[in-house]
Amino acid sequence: MSKKSIDKVLKEEQLKFENQGDDHSVKSIDTPMREGAFEKSSSEKINLIKDHFYEIMDILGLDMSDDSLKGTPYRVAKMYVSEIFNGLDEEHKPKVTLFDNKYQYGKMLVERDISYYSMCEHHFMPIYGKAHIAYISSGKVIGLSKLHRIVKYFASRPQVQERMTVQVFQELKKVLNTEDVAVMIDGFHMCVSARGTKDITSSTVTMESGGSFREDRKWAEFMELVKPSKR
């Protein structure tokens, strides 16, 4: 095959993957996982990723004998397995305990400005921002910190923001045993700001609602409560 033909094939492959990278359709609310995803231990995964990341850095032309770079493959591997992507393992799902709504509080409870960090599954670049949650008790209440932990759990995996929004929404409905849940997520995507269009000012907003929050009045009330404050 001539060099011209090879270049044409490579260009076609590049365009195919570029177009796939812009696909934000949510085919399932489940994070796509292969069968046997957890057959290897965390230590085994760290060692394998370390070796592969060493190869990536070497291919890029970096001098892997330099003192500043020697430990990078291990640090990246440990960060991936133990921190950034630890939400892939259901064993890390927050354990939720509900309490009786002793005060008979019947209005919406809003937890806003929950900070989160995630990773875009298309380019493996960071997504970060704020999540806002509201629910109306069906007789039970949840500890406020657990709302944060649920958001951070689903953020700790390669993500599409639309999917993450639905995952948090569905989990809250299940653990709270109510349809009266609202979720809004505002995210900054480094795959937009650091590459491609390099737009550093835009953010992406996604939302989901159920029960009484599908009513215009209740949704408007939620929106009013989560809008940015001047404090």
Give the Cα separation of 151 and 130 in Å (integer): 10
Q: Assign 209 to helix, strand or coil.
A: strand
Active site residue 111: no
In 3D space, the residue among 174, 180, 85, 97 whose CA is nearest the CA of residue 135 turns out to be 180
Q: Which residue has the tokens 């921002």?
A: 129
| Long-range contacts, 214-219 (Cβ 8 Å, 24+) | 218/108, 219/182
Please, how many CA atoms are within 13 Å of residue 63, restricted to the half-sphere of its CB? 4
> Which DSSP string do the residues of 56-96 spell out, in sequence order?
HHHHTT--TTSTTTTTHHHHHHHHIIIIITGGGSGGGSPP-
Active site residue 123: yes
Active site residue 121: yes
Catalytic residue among 111, 171, 189, 208: 189
Q: Assign 158 to helix, strand or coil.
A: strand
Catalytic residue among 123, 148, 170, 221: 123
Catalytic residue among 120, 167, 171, 208: 120
Active site residue 122: yes
Catalytic residue among 12, 13, 132, 191: 191
Catalytic residue among 111, 132, 159, 161: 161
Active site residue 55: no
Beta carbons of 205 and 183 less than 8 angstroms apart:
no
Give the Cα separation of 161 and 164 in Å (integer): 5
Catalytic residue among 122, 132, 159, 171: 122
The residues annotated with a catalytic role in the active site are: 120-123, 161, 189, 191
